[in-house]
Chains A and B, each alone.
Chain A
Amino acid sequence: MKVIEARGLRKEFVVRVKAGAIRRQKRVVAAVDGVDLAIERGEMVGYLGPNGAGKSTTLKMLTGVLMPSGGDVRVCGFTPVPQRVKLARRIGVVFGQRSQLWWDLPLGDSFDLLRHIYRVPAAEHALRLDRCRDLLDLDAFMQTPVRQLSLGQRMRGELTAALLHGPEILFLDEPTIGLDVVSKQAVRGFLAELGEKGDTTMILTTHDLADIERLCQRIVVIDHGRVVHDGTIQALHDRYRSRRRVIADFDEPIQTDIRLPGVELESSTGTRLIFAVDEVGPLISQLTQIGSLRDLSIAEPEIEDVISRLYLSS
């Protein structure tokens, strides 16, 4: 069953550009320019794109914050803006850069208020809160006013706040932005576990590709408001022919003329040879024959490389 369906989703903004001392020219800019998306229940989708690509704008249209300028969109069977209140009960949203907690009140008070806002039965609420307290270690700062929390603590609070009503879809807009390594791990681990249970659909925007590698099987890449890739990470590697690298160090300077199918010599500097390869096996058996091999390492293709090639090419 599809929980999110968008066809030809568009959002245009009118911007006024300076055109002389006083004169301003109106220009229409499409922040989202015809996005198609179909997401099944339980999927974890990474939504990527460079700054200004239209990621946040898309999320805001899916959550009912912004009115689309064009196209069709259904989320949980609702049309987001006209049915905003009904939809709000079924989704959870975390904006990394914007708090949804009550700034001057203890964290625990925010959770209590949210229970009333979402009309969650007390027992159900307590159950979910207990789980989050456990997994996200909230107990140490439940009584601390939100304004005094560290960013990492606050983000754990935001995640909990978005989950207390048991949403079907969780929208995460840069949930790990600005966090230290430990907090990032905590947030990722928590989301991974939530995803494994399979009943929560997650859409995640991020600039930290480690989030994506850890959490998402599917990625949708958007640039200039259009989808430029929709599929698995593997498909992206295949499409850009990103290959593993074999780095071989020899005891003495070496020249080589190895010719194998799917193997390409990338660089040769004295004692070090670097190859880009499809298959590692045949190359290694050759390398051991051409000289005295001191060290050998194999580097997996970096998702960063692929994504940056994708941004550059689109």
Chain B
Amino acid sequence: MPSIVKPVARHPSLQKNELGLTIRDYEGSMSTLCAGCGHDSITAAIIRALWEIAMPPHMLAKMSGIGCSSKTPAYFASGAHGFNSAHGRMPAITTGAAAANRDITYIGVSGDGDSLSIGLGHMCHAIRRNVRMVYIIENNGVYGLTKGQFSASADVGSKSKRGEANQVLPIDPVTLALSIGASFVARGFSGDKERLVPILKAAFAHRGLALVDVISPCVTFNDHSGSTKSYLYTRQNELKAAEADFVPLQTEIVAAIREQGVTAVTMHDGSIVRFRSVPQEYDPTDRQKVMNYLLEKQGSGEIVTGLLFVDETISSLHEQNNTSETPLSQVPYGELCPGALELEQLQHEFK
């Protein structure tokens, strides 16, 4: 992950969040991705969301695998630990990290190659375990670093830069995640940062794994006509459903949620997600209905975006395992070792 250090220049009038940090404090090193890459817009949305929710940078861990997407953790929150691991293994490594320290907030940044091919199994099982993390798929339908092969999310008929049409059926992370019990599923578009930020803020408030699939056009290998992951195609076929407002816990929210035509979901931490522009009969808490809606729209070639599904009742990894509130990495050794006398006692079983 080549990176260039950004010059530090802060305007004194930059607004501060409740930790006294400006948005610049959530930036990282300079991106080395291609100019216009959708991933950089997602990075900007992440930075914005982190600043708005006032995330203490050192309490965040940025996890990734391999690929263009996986480079991006270097480009935000330089005060947070990052782990640019191995191709496809990010969900497994994050599961272990989350097991060891439940106090850290995890953001995994992955891509469609990383998550839908080599790491598909790991992604699915992290979803099943409901590991508390924000899981972003920067989805561009193409392998960028190896110069333009189709990925597993490329649509049938979508054309490569050289003009050949993909013939292999795509894997849609959104419907896949819903089918295996995901507790939070969203889809965004890198070209619409304003709608992505509240989704990310809600994702950070979620009690389990929040899967955020973001269509993120590859300007170098997959932004031509004939591609179904280009800026133009996405703009023309995007169907904005289930738009979300994120209302943090500390804001006065009582009146707001009584608004007509608004579905509100209380997140685990007490904050509230309000759904607007929701089509009639769309219930973001009803897995079956959401699934039907998505499949119907998928059939007609529309890309449904928004915070599509939330279920705050599904227990997370630590809840399933009844793990101590103290992070396992911080339980004092004295509480972990039964000691010499007990070792002597327990060996009666072996006599």
Q: Do A and B bind each other?
A: no
